[in-house]
Amino acid sequence: MNKLLVFSLPFLFSSVVWSGYLESDQDVLIPQEWAHVDRVGPTEELELTFALKQQNVHLLEEKLRLVSDPDSVQYGKHLSLEEVASLVRPSDLTEKVVHRWLQSHGITNCLTIRTQDFLQCTMTAETAERLLPGSRFHRYMRDGHYLVRSSAPYSVPDDVHHHLDFVGGLHRLPPKGLDLSKKQKSKAGFHLGVTPAVLRTRYNLTSADVGSVQNNSQAVAQFLEQYYHPADLAEFMAMFGGAFQHRSEVDRVVGTQGGGKAGIEASLDVEYIMSTGANISTWVFTNPGRHESQEPFLQWMILLSNMTDLPWVHTISYGDDEDSLSAAYMTRINTEFMKAGVRGISLLFASGDSGAGCRHLGKENTFRPSFPASSPYVTTVGGTSFKNPYKVTYEVTDSISGGGFSNIFKMPDYQTTAVNSYLKTVAASLPPKSYFNTSGRAYPDMAALSDNYWVVSNRVPVPWVSGTSASTPVVGGMLSLINDQRFMKGLPALGFLNPRLYKLNGKALFDVTEGCHYGCLDEQVQGQGFCAAPSWDPVTGWGTPNYPALLAVLLSD
């Protein structure tokens, strides 16, 4: 049902007028941690992804607003994948132009998807470099993993330029994984440690708060050569899941689990979404990329547009600096998020573990937002710590919690009142305005504990694991429980949560009002970014979930 669709292209030729670069007119910077291995041979096969221009993106955005706004008569009236496809599929002209261009270079081995807005084509490196003048493919290695990317910008013909958003498999390299145990030395041996029991106590989940309906499911997605081990999950649940009904196995793995050791990140995601979203069917999307030239995150996005049946909640602990990605690429990815949202799917992204971040531009510094955390079409989750690390107390900011303001995407209507109120209330203590974009999409939207988790990885209990990679699946699991209760009442899935979340105005969440996160280490801000404040703030959003209260307000349709 959900396989990629194969087709061959008619053989046509056309005259070519070359345009400028599709994504960027700057040199492509390969991060230093990627070591150059060699130039890709001319006959080596590559797989490139062509993002075809979609139709009716403005109508898609409006539809997302209507089905996500609880005050709309269309609230919860989500679309099927077929309805989404009929709305956004490329025009006949776009398909004809792109197909003709590919075929004129002898490229016939292509796959498309149900929405017909992506093509994945296999070709030799020599053909790819003729197809995309300027591109030069090289092999790079980091931590034993190999990728093929172009070290230079590419261009496309003028008549094709207007029918493509970008070509995947040339420029973007996966960001380096985070050291989730980086705080170990400072707190080792002196902390309560976060376990499922601690989370259930803090967020007021009882042993009865577990899933029960058949048509509910949740998922985590992994991209950075991270894999979970079933034996770790079983051991984790045996150690920490005794007080509530739970599952000890993942129901479905989409993709290929790699061999070798389990990753802390993957173990953390699976173990904790299945602890708060207890007894709910759980999927794992694992996509290292079938080929060195693939982009794993992009492959996951394409999968979402090609599967008719998907889990209702997805949590993703992945991000990159906004300034390292092209605006064309991020804008198209936002459209993919909208396509998921109108289907009733909730996408939760970790806000990152670098506070406000810092970008050094000569003598001037600015904060450095992260994407997809800065997307207006996902729910972004920040992090907190216990005020008293020795017992379950109220929460304060975790100084690593990612947050700030997008430099690319404008502030969405659903959050303008809350964010402008914050900016006005704390105006006297804000960082200089040269550090951030006051009119950009502000994040995170909410938060949960992100400090000092227990995880089982490679059959060993590991303490002091920290990061918003922990808080995100915790929130995701709770939203899955709420979906469970909604389905029992005959209500639709929550879908894109933000418009409804912001209308709650902080109701049903524990407000976090203490603490600041990291910023630039310079004379002006001296290592400090933004600080928590009453109501919404760009460190912890609206705060952390009070589960029974949140359940009550999200069941009141």
Q: Is residue 264 a contact partner of residue 457, using CB atoms and an 8 Å limit?
A: yes
Three-state secondary-structure class, residue 351: coil
Residue 413 annotated in active site: no
CB atoms within 10 A of CB 413: 12
Residue whose entry in the numeric block shows the structure tokens 């999968």:
303
CB 227 within 8 A of CB 286: yes
- The structure tokens listed for 360 are 């050094």
Cβ density class 238-254: b for 16+ within 10 Å, e for less? eebbeebebbeebeeeb
Options 23, 95, 235, 265, the catalytic residue: 265
CA distance 449 to 378: 20
469 is catalytic: yes
Q: Distance (Å, rounded) from C-alpha 361 to C-alpha 533?
A: 29
Which of 61, 95, 117, 269 is catalytic? The answer is 269
Catalytic hit among 374, 469, 471, 480: 469
**Phi, then psi, of 484 in degrees rounded to 5:** -55, -45
The DSSP string of 435-466 is GS-TTEEEE-SEEEE-SSEEEEETTEEEEEE-
Active site residue 47: no
Instruction: Say how far apart CA 331 and CA 329 lie, in whole Å.
Output: 6
Token pair 């964010």 in the structure block, residue: 419
The two tokens of residue 342 are 């109108």
CA 414 to CA 499: how far, in whole Å? 5
Active site residues: 265, 269, 469
